[in-house]
Structure 1
Amino acid sequence: MITLVRCTALVALLGAALTACGTTEAPRRPAASTASSASSAKPSVPTLAPGPAGLTPVFEHGPRTAGRTVALTFDADMTADQGPRAAAGEHFDNPSLIAALRELKVPATVFMTGRWAEEYPDQARALGRDRLFEVANHSYSHYAFTADCYGLPTVDRGRMRADVERAYAAFREAGVRDPMPYFRFPGGCHDPAALKELAAAGVTAVQWDVVSGDAFATDPDAVARQVLDGVRPGSVVVLHCTRSAAPVTEAAVRAVVPELRRQGYRFVKVSELVGSGNART
């Protein structure tokens, strides 16, 4: 656990002090492709300082001792080659889940692939403009950044950064406002080589410490139990926003939210956890 210290000086004046600060404040647009267009008037969000040897930093959960906070995160998955399946009627979105989160007033972070944003631009834009949510990057293609990652196709090492930047371009095309400088590896699979390739993209990699088990699940009660058994203060829970691959997520969320609130938990976005503390791999 590393205590997070907010930096309040202007980035231009930080210089070498960044190393001592532990985190940096980054524009809500990724440095790799939009830094030149980011206005100083844009809101800023916390990111982590680079890891050892300048590698992309990795965030897993918030502090365990700073109150009962928990972040629900939803992966909006769609791989680059699934267009024909969507055209045939398969649903990679989940509007009723998003409606449930709004009804329950649960803030959340949605890790979206660029391909999902292209398929559902209206929904992507609505998520990006709703203060209840923040949109972060889940790659463009949802191809893996390592070999042997749950059977996913893999991105060539030399194309990894371009794949992340292509997702941000898809968000802009869909009208998503100020996507976060956070990135979730498809399948969560990463290694030092992938962290090195993404270092110049200026993102913080966000993992999780609670696996919901909602992917391909058929029993919402089992998913809810797995989440409730795993949550601790500062937890990041990984769920999915894809009807065809995670059909019981909404029902599980409707069970989890009131119970965690009964236990005294407060739901937050990932940015709040990053802003209060971090654990690094």
Structure 2
Amino acid sequence: MIIRVRQVAAACALGAALTACGAPTAPHAAHPAPTATAAPSRPPTLAPGPTGLTPVFRNGPRTDGRTVALTFDADMTADEGARAARGERFDNPQLIATLRALKVPATVFMTGRWADEYPLQARSIGRDPLFEIANHSYSHHAFTGDCYGLPTVSEDRMRADVERAYAAFRRAGVTDAMPYFRFPGGCYDRAALKALTPTGVTAVQWDVVSGDAFATDSDAVARQVLEGVRPGSVVVMHCTRSAAPATERAVRSIVPELRAKGYRFVKVSELIRAADAQR
């Protein structure tokens, strides 16, 4: 989700952790195989509204402790392959390394086109228990007209575009992508919600815009997040080097500041579970 926004610790320990990121870990001691394994629980989702439309989630409970979810949109539009071939980077491995070093759970809303371009990274993120991958469409085309200049996907192709993204995740080796969907540009209407109802996804928006899209001032991005976060907030950021070059630096400031204020970082799934429990 790339949008333009007008508004715009320990360094040694972090550096050491980043250096170690990706290094093989020592094998665990062998244990006897359990005789039975519990069936994995289904990811939490919200029930459709009274008219059967796809439910929309914006933030978690405000009174259930100081939790906050950092979300990162891994954007790549379907027609940007030529730009990637010329060397433009739509990924941001340094950001993922920093989240790992700081031990920050996060939800990555990934386009299928991004997963096709960076399958090894998609698999690495998807298999890391620190993260969860959710759907940001395949094409990154808008699901409404007049959405920040994005090309549009027709209503009769919306469901197929979402399902195509899940297929791209599976090709990359991500077998447990979450049943959450973020509209490109955050743009949706009743027709879009109706078109996605058969997929069973929960649409995930946000209540804090980081302003990192196309920003170069990481301090301004961090300040905007820190001023906007409340208990249960969902923060939208980006995992795209070329379009959000200041994000990784901003995260280095945001994380210790929020932790000092008593916030705990969680994935979107935890906020949705808490919201559903309060219904």
Instruction: Sort the TM-score into its range (normalised by shorter chain).
Output: 0.7 to 0.9
Runs (4+) of structure 1 exceeding 4 A deviation are none
What SS does structure 1 have at the residue aligned with 2:51? helix
Q: How does 1:217-228 map to 2 (within 5 A)?
A: 217-228=215-226
Distance 1:225 1:177 in 2: 36
- Give the residue type in structure 1 aligned to 2:161: D
- Give the residue type in structure 2 aligned to 1:269: K
Identify which of 181, 198, 201 aligns with 2:199.
201
What SS does structure 1 have at the residue aligned with 2:216? coil
Max Rg structure: 2
TM-score (norm 2): 0.85
What SS does structure 2 have at the residue aligned with 1:109? strand
Which residue of 2 is the match for residue 80 of structure 1? 78
Distance 1:87 1:41 in 2: 43
Q: Percent identity?
A: 79
Distance 1:130 1:177 in 2: 12
What's the CA shift for 1:45? 1.3
Q: 5+ unaligned residues in a row in structure 2: which ranges?
A: 1-37
Identify which of 184, 187, 195 aligns with 2:185.
187
**1:177-214 deviation digits (Å, cap 9, x = unpaired):** 30000000000000000000000010000000000000
Q: How does 1:96-245 map to 2 (within 5 A)?
A: 96-245=94-243
What's the CA shift for 1:136? 0.2
Which residue of 1 is the match for residue 92 of structure 2? 94
What SS does structure 1 have at the residue aligned with 2:97? helix
**1:203-230 deviation digits (Å, cap 9, x = unpaired):** 0000000000000001000000000000
The size of the alignment, in residue pairs, is 239
What SS does structure 1 have at the residue aligned with 2:269? helix
- Give the residue type in structure 2 aligned to 1:175: G
TM-score (norm 1): 0.84
What SS does structure 2 have at the residue aligned with 1:198? helix
Distance 1:155 1:272 in 2: 31
Which residue of 2 is the match for residue 261 of structure 1? 259
What SS does structure 2 have at the residue aligned with 1:246? coil
**1:51-105 deviation digits (Å, cap 9, x = unpaired):** 1310000000000000000000000000000000000000000000000000000
